[in-house]
Structure 1
Amino acid sequence: MRRSVVTGVGVVAPGGGSREEFWARIVDGKPAIRRVSTFDPTAYRSQIAAECDFDPARYGLTPQEIRRMDRFVQMAIASADEAVADSGLELGRVDTDRLGVCLGSAVGATITLEDEYVVASNHGRDWVTDHRHTMPFLYQSLVPSSAATELAVRYGAHGPAALVSTGCTSGIDSIGHAHSLIQDGEADIVIAGASDAPISPITVACFDAIRATSPRNDEPDQASRPFDAGRQGFVLGEGSAILVIEELEHALARGARVYCEVAGYAARANGFHMTGLRPDGFELGEAIMEAMDRARLNPDDLGYISAHGSGTKQNDRHETAAYKRALGEAARQVPISSIKSVIGHSLGAIGSIEMAACALVVSRGVIPPTANLTTPDPDCDLDYTPLVAREAEVDHALSAGSGFGGFQSAMVFSKPSEVS
């Protein structure tokens, strides 16, 4: 069977505009959360977010590209450029018919669409809008797959190209799709990951309406508290992570440095509730067990779990139940942590950012902590790595994710024996 490995990692995240800045931030466990700065959030229940200090010109984007692309596309380009450079790929020597792209996003060009609607509708006062007042690239913003097209054109990729949008599991699922393309022989290299820039009035208002986000506005650095008894909801974030996923023999033939192997992936849907979760964690547990089975691992083989860990009471208890269901007694032995405590929840992007963290954990042997976990919820009684990072040899890392609509996904990254 064809095997896929990670040969490049690129990240744009709150508190860090590169892979190394991101890694230093999550290992330090220092939250990058503040009052929303891109618009006046005074009218909203939750007025805080994990924002990226992102200047597209710093990453070499031209004024024309900046004008054409929504922020989520700009961040995808920046992280993809870093990943491709990190991989050592010489694109001029790559068979571009075997080079693919798979990008995940939950909400696409939210910022551009909202901004343009405000202009076209005269701040919502006009029911009938005039298209002559909108930007000429509005169609590209309306169609999220335009982001995958931008990446494919940038790197001359003539292989499979796709946009995966499965809510908050989009980032895991996009890498899972890339893994499948390589297994099936459709591509030798896939530039894969996810990007989202959802920090806008409409997004904040939507999560306010269901009281999903934290109202801890006076203490933003303490607001994201996964698995803590004092948690009040998640903190909205933004960002992007792109991985170069490559067929193992192809990577070895060109002497590539390998971070880890994509050892197992599985997804389930619960059909239970649009935003609710079954308390027994059944479907997430099933996805974890299937991913472990495909990786040919026993529960006690795991060295780390990157939790979904959003910081809502419902999710954290659901996730804890899923780990116990899938792993049995081994669930109490494996270190688990949530980097959302540091960089917030960037919706569709967070799964790929967490997979980037897993690749770095496997290759570097350090487990990032869960920030702000000072008083554990008694119902979340596993080892959630409070406050301080740990050094540990990690041969196999699991990441799990849940998304609105009932999406449940899990993925395992492992050290491949051939290159360890």
Structure 2
Amino acid sequence: MIEKLVLMSEMLQAQLRYPSSEASATETFADTLAEDFKDLKEYITKALSGVTANTWQINCSAISAGINRICTILYSLYASAIRSGDSPVRKAQIRFCKKLSSQIEELIWIIGVLAPGMISKNNAAPLSTYLPARLRIRSKSKALSELIPLLDEHCRPIIEIIQSAINNLLKPGKPVSFRLLEYLEELLEVLQGVKEDYPGTTINYRLHIKLITYNFNYPRYVAYCNGKLEEKFGSDSIIEKITNLSWYEMELRRIIPVPGKALFEAPMQSAQYSLQLYVTEEIKYLQLINALPSGSNVDKIRLKLSVAETSLLFLGMSELDLIEDKNFNHLTLQISRFFSTIQAESVSKESVRSNAYRYKPETIVSLIKKLLELINWLRSK
């Protein structure tokens, strides 16, 4: 097994050093790949030569990084070939990528037998693993459309959000890790289970539970859920909102996520945490408002900025951590309560949020001009 591992690294290196007619179409990549394979063979030889445990670990890390780099290059080459039209060169590039990827896949398998865990699940999967997995994932993703007639009007768009996330993550030329392929296949399999009826639950409820349990922390999903929650309770009284949101918060806390599962790993927050944070901050704010004496007025700070400029300014400060409040929905509530603008004495939180995320180029220009005035004033001090 060890001899085969070293021999394979030599053969792969030689194949690139002396390109065949198929490989000749890859001259741009061949030199880089040949050097990578040369380094890979060296690290494999060192790792298997009875060196110290510390040196073994160093070489194992180098082997994993080297294979990841080679797989990433082959993703780029394959995507380039797909985009280049139906030509002999294109076909040669595709054959070359597939053949080389199959050999890389076998190399990874041998390394896995000799040293389990050496190849990280976050490494890019070889094309020979990725391409059939992508077909399966896309097929299962399309099958989710069968759920749309069974869902209510609020949950139907979530299917499109899931499908959009998958399409974005599986774009040609974008390396995909073993971990992500495994996660997507498992998630889609689990989502098919929402059709199974459980007493006391609806298919809409089961869809959310499975997405949160499997930590589908796609930003669009979290934003959509928060928006729908606000829409659902928007016309309620403050007390009713607090009661309903408290129930929702309790339901979120009861969910037990599957360990180690996530669409995006750290530092991206989990879907459960992000949804819970929004609800918790909304409850705190509503409790604060409810505690104010009836008819109390707040003296607002008047800004010589438009609503759009104000929204963009606070969004920027939030993104750059100049404001500790990480919940922008909560921040919009505070802005609407304590600030007025040259356009309006009363600014709704909906207007603040809408202008923050749908700003126009002229808003950026005008805000930059005003910020430059502030910078020049600071420089004069």
Question: Under a length normalisation based on structure 2, what TM-score does the superposition of the two structures give?
Answer: 0.25
Instruction: Specify the structure having the higher radius of gyration (Cα).
Output: 2
- Normalising by the residue count of structure 1, what TM-score does the alignment of the two structures yield? 0.24
Q: Which structure ranks higher in relative contact order (CA pairs < 8 Å, sequence separation ≥ 6)?
A: 1
